[in-house]
Structure 1
Amino acid sequence: MRAAHDPSLRAAARLTLRFAWASALRLTLTGALACIGCAAQAAQPARCDDWSAYRQFIAHFMQQDGRIVDFSTAVQQSTSEGQSYGMFFALVANDRATFDKLLAWTRANLSAGRFDAADLKLPAWQWGRKPDGSYGVLDANSASDSDLWIAYDLFEATRLWHEPSYAKLAWALVTQIEKQEVATLAGLGPMLLPGPQGFQTGGTTRVNPSYLPLPVLRALAAQAPSGPWASLAANAYTLVKTTAPLGFSPDWAAWRDGRFIVDPKKGDVGSYDAIRVYLWAGLTDPTDPLAKPWLDAIGGMRERVAQTGVPPERVATTSGVAQGEAPIGFWGALLPYFRALNDARAANLAQTHLAAWAAAAQQNAASGSTTPGNSTPPPVYYDEVLMLFGTGSADGRYRFDATGQLVPRWGKLCEPAHAHS
């Protein structure tokens, strides 16, 4: 469930961004992967664990009350997705104050104050400006992938910050996810519905492959072995493999008459949702028994980039016909995918594009585009999210182990980062 972004903002953001944001990513992608600022501490003191790109993300997209805003949408929307990803990045950054702000805003606004162990309402997926100019919930349906991520964030916060109150929330959330967002499909078994309402009609169940990150499912299976999570992981692989006949994952698919079919509403397009399928596969621990088969099932993107030098913005997954050039965020999402495939050429290409993008943005900023009073298009939320996931992994800030647990490198980025291979 993704609202359309303003294409003019996306195009403009490719050319001109704030100097601070560009500088943060440039540092990340041009030699500072092992330690940001360590070599020049005397001249410019910096903590070795400082994640500049994360700080810039929070400064730009998070309001003081903990609301992540997607400025590229007409309604200035906030989503459960944005809140869940923000909580994850705060966990990676060891930023508990921000984590708690994000959680508090989610509880108060997306769950109407009902986000407690004894009374938990699944978060509404979309909140923003209403037609009358007021702000509030725009769509009360929940988004199951965000719900999974929030539960994951809470479980991992319990473990890493030694705070049991987070676990109580996580268990309450997992209980509601299992009750409202997991369906048993005849001939398959448990499958994650994209949300409680509107995805099962007339014998057809619509599903979203990008809603099923394997590390998150592994972690939930470890927490709740009697739950559906291990079976969901296996069925998610079946979904990805079956719906990617040419190695490209679609944004949406459907289950009908005992098999996966092309989604009757969105068709076979793979684009802004599907890019996360490659990202999650690249972030999966290589010792996971599904890691290699999963990567093998979606090899089409690697082959396409090898042929053309750029990922497509959209691809018809049943024919391979591609359209458009992907935005910069796709390169960020594909970086872990290329690294997991041990494709050094493609990974270097991704880093080259990301570095060139940052350099161009820095040049625009230096020419005066960030002068106070000038109108500067803001960074695009979704691009920045994908890049934080991808570059954060590539520069060793975090990884997932074989059980799905988060392994952050808090305070350790002056040590050599281990390659994800």
Structure 2
Amino acid sequence: MMFKLYKQMLKVWLLMLCGISSASASSLDWTTFKQRFMAPDGRILDSGNRNISHTEGQGFSMLFAVGANDKTSFDKIWGWTHSHLKDQKSGLFYWRYNPVIADPIEDKNNASDGDVLIAWALLKAGQRWNHKPYLTESDRIVRAVLNHTVIDFAGRKVMLPGRSGFTAQDSITLNPSYFIFPAWRDFAERSYLANLWTLIENSQQLMTDIDWGQHRIPTDWITLYADGKTAPATKWPARVSYDAIRIPLYMKWDRADNPLLGRWQSWFSGYSRLKTPAWENMANHEIANYPMRGGLLAVRDYTMNQLSSDATKVRASDDYYSASLKLLAALANDGF
């Protein structure tokens, strides 16, 4: 009798486990994503930007492959990234690859979020597949990021968007959507480097201290002045838009109780879900004449604790970036 009961309990447990695994797999629509945006050699095509490639897309897709337990695709993406984008001198990666010009690496700068994403994906891969070379490479990239893009300015430790082009005599330009808090925390917990913990604390405080705009949320690009004040960067419209949408995603992914999420929820709740504008200018309150769709809406839903599995499905209407935001929201929601 007891053996029969044990078998029934085991069967229920296995069914529950399969259900959980299947739900997790279905929430990450990796198969559709790679069919649409991944070339056979591992290059990720930005369909919304003339099929160029960049470290953001390579890093995102490496993360997705780890989340989907797809080591074959991971190795292809990482192999292409290392072969075509690695800057051997700095240890960072050239941010952009355009296959239709004579020199595909026309701009030799890096994008620090791309470097962080690649390093984070390697860390996750090394842990998931127990592969030490991934971990070693991740550690090297993290050290390069710290050496070349993390600086002390205005009494804070901050990460520049790239190693060149973002500093002036009395100010620096920052992109807060590059503050990938869950990655930084994973790096800090692995290495115990004090400057990583300081980077996390100072970047959180930087956004806490924003006192401009109705909702006090950062625009896509901001300026940090030597006196510690911030403002929307003048070279770009003062919009909360396609870059800044990643900020609440990374915040919540790192800490679901982050008090700054309330500012984003306040902004989103000012509109009905399907009428939330794709962007808003925080200087003049101009809003886009079209609503959030696709991946933008998925991040909004995740931030508002309203994310459904249907919202993270990659559809024909999604370009590379929209699909990426959907898969990022799915990973974050699954606690990856």
> TM-score w.r.t. structure 2 length?
0.84
Matching of residue 315 in structure 1 with residue 271 in structure 2: no
Paired residue secondary structure (1:219) = helix
Among 92, 97, 122, the alignment partner of 2:92 is 122
Matches within 5 A, 1:205-284: 205-243=172-210, 245-247=213-215, 248-258=217-227, 259-284=229-254
Matches within 5 A, 1:342-421: 347=306, 351=308, 354=311, 379-394=318-333, 398-399=334-335, 406=336
Cα separation, 2, equivalents of 1:91 and 1:79:
19
Among 329, 333, 336, the alignment partner of 2:295 is 329
Paired residue secondary structure (2:279) = strand
Which residue pairs with 2:135 in the alignment? Answer: 167
Matching of residue 63 in structure 1 with residue 31 in structure 2: no
Q: 1:106 to 1:352 in 2, by over 3 A?
A: closer
Paired residue secondary structure (1:304) = coil
Which amino acid in structure 2 is aligned with residue 313 of structure 1?
A
Which amino acid in structure 1 is aligned with residue 46 of structure 2?
D
Cα separation, 1, equivalents of 2:321 and 2:116:
19
Q: 1:211 to 1:49 in 2, by over 3 A?
A: closer
Which amino acid in structure 2 is aligned with residue 233 of structure 1?
I
Which residue pairs with 1:96 in the alignment? Answer: 71
Which residue pairs with 2:120 in the alignment? Answer: 152
Q: 1:158 to 1:299 in 2, by over 3 A?
A: same
Cα separation, 2, equivalents of 1:270 and 1:134:
35
Contact 1:158-1:167 within 8 A present in 2 as well: yes
Contact 1:145-1:212 within 8 A present in 2 as well: yes
Cα separation, 2, equivalents of 1:148 and 1:393:
16
Cα separation, 2, equivalents of 1:233 and 1:272:
23
1:94-124 C-alpha deviation (Å, 9 max, x unpaired): 1111111111100111116x4xxxx763111
Contact 2:94-2:109 within 8 A present in 1 as well: yes
Paired residue secondary structure (2:172) = strand
Cα separation, 2, equivalents of 1:354 and 1:160:
27
Cα separation, 2, equivalents of 1:126 and 1:181:
17
User: CA shift at 1:157, angstroms?
Assistant: 1.6
Which residue pairs with 1:11 in the alignment? Answer: none
Paired residue secondary structure (1:139) = coil
Contact 1:84-1:149 within 8 A present in 2 as well: yes
Q: 1:310 to 1:353 in 2, by over 3 A?
A: farther
Cα separation, 2, equivalents of 1:312 and 1:78:
28
Matching of residue 105 in structure 1 with residue 48 in structure 2: no
Which residue pairs with 1:200 in the alignment? Answer: 167
Cα separation, 2, equivalents of 1:207 and 1:238:
14
Contact 2:157-2:203 within 8 A present in 1 as well: no
Q: 1:283 to 1:160 in 2, by over 3 A?
A: same
Cα separation, 1, equivalents of 2:23 and 2:193:
41
User: CA shift at 1:319, angstroms?
Assistant: 4.8
Structure 1 unaligned blocks of 5 or more: 1-33, 39-45, 340-346, 362-376, 400-405, 407-421
Contact 1:330-1:386 within 8 A present in 2 as well: yes
Which amino acid in structure 2 is aligned with residue 60 of structure 1?
R
Paired residue secondary structure (1:312) = coil
Which amino acid in structure 2 is aligned with residue 145 of structure 1?
D
Structure 2 unaligned blocks of 5 or more: 1-14
User: CA shift at 1:292, angstroms?
Assistant: 2.6
1:106-165 C-alpha deviation (Å, 9 max, x unpaired): 0111116x4xxxx763111110134xx446213221111111111111122222211111
Contact 2:37-2:45 within 8 A present in 1 as well: yes
1:76-95 C-alpha deviation (Å, 9 max, x unpaired): 21010000000101111111
Cα separation, 1, equivalents of 2:183 and 2:70:
21
The structure with more strand, counted as a fraction of residues:
1
Contact 2:181-2:200 within 8 A present in 1 as well: yes
Q: 1:91 to 1:352 in 2, by over 3 A?
A: closer
User: CA shift at 1:257, angstroms?
Assistant: 2.7
Paired residue secondary structure (2:193) = coil
Cα separation, 2, equivalents of 1:191 and 1:123:
19
User: CA shift at 1:392, angstroms?
Assistant: 4.2
Contact 1:332-1:386 within 8 A present in 2 as well: yes
Contact 1:301-1:311 within 8 A present in 2 as well: no
Which amino acid in structure 1 is aligned with residue 254 of structure 2?
T
